[in-house]
Amino acid sequence: MRTRGFTIVELLVVITVMAILIPVTMFSIGGLNKTSRDRERESDVSSIARQLELVYTNKTVGSSPTYPGTTSLGGSATPPRESVFGGSTSEITKAPNSSGFSIVAATNTTATTSGVRPVPTPTTYVYQPIPKSGSAVCTSLCSSFNLYYLNESDSSIIMVKSQRQQ
């Protein structure tokens, strides 16, 4: 008695169908991962902005309401970033796929998504404190801020403004 197996043509058809479906599935899953990381960035930056508003309201930086300056991002800053962000490795300060503190200080005062330096990356957020004069990078006693992050899905840069300038 002879048992029937698959013919070579049937096997080739199955392999061809799998070769088409696997890349399509992988491509769609990759898009979902980018969207998920973008949502995490949006949530992180929103939490960071709320934390900075609390610093302003609670006068954490000095005797009058102010936002932390760029010096607050360094390890030996005054006030230390731990008091501003609740710990140097707080989850809100780590971008997706980043292993540590992801907030970097802006090096210019161009308050546009195309002009901020350094440019945000998938693993960094850019904090741009602004003095009342608006003319220089604010190192202390800042009156407002901008936060920038990269939207990985469409490579756009998103800017979040402080409540004091909206």
Q: Locate the domains of the chain by residue range.
A: 9-165
Q: Quick check: 13 pLDDT over 90?
A: yes
pLDDT per residue over 39-78, tens digit each?
999 999 999 999 889 888 887 666 778 888 887 776 444 4
- Kindly provide the b/e burial profile for residues 60-86, where b requires at least 16 CB atoms within 10 angstroms of the residue's own CB: bbeeeebbbbbbbbeeebeeebeebbe
Higher pLDDT, 133 or 73: 133
Q: What single string gives the DSSP state of each residue in 33-50?
A: HHHHHHHHHHHHHHHHHH
Evaluate whether 91 touches 85 at the Cβ level (below 8 Å). no
Q: Quick check: 127 pLDDT over 60?
A: yes
Evaluate whether 101 touches 88 at the Cβ level (below 8 Å). yes
Q: What pLDDT shows up at residue 57?
A: 85
Residue 36: both structure tokens together: 């998920």
Higher pLDDT, 101 or 43: 43
> The pTM is what?
0.76
Q: What's the CA gap between 107 and 42, in Å, rounded?
A: 22
Evaluate whether 158 touches 113 at the Cβ level (below 8 Å). yes
Evaluate whether 78 touches 61 at the Cβ level (below 8 Å). no
Q: What's the CA gap between 107 and 124, in Å, rounded?
A: 14
- Angle ∠(60,161,31) on CA atoms, nearest 5: 115
Q: What pLDDT shows up at residue 78?
A: 44
Q: What's the CA gap between 37 and 28, in Å, rounded?
A: 15
Q: What pLDDT shows up at residue 62?
A: 63
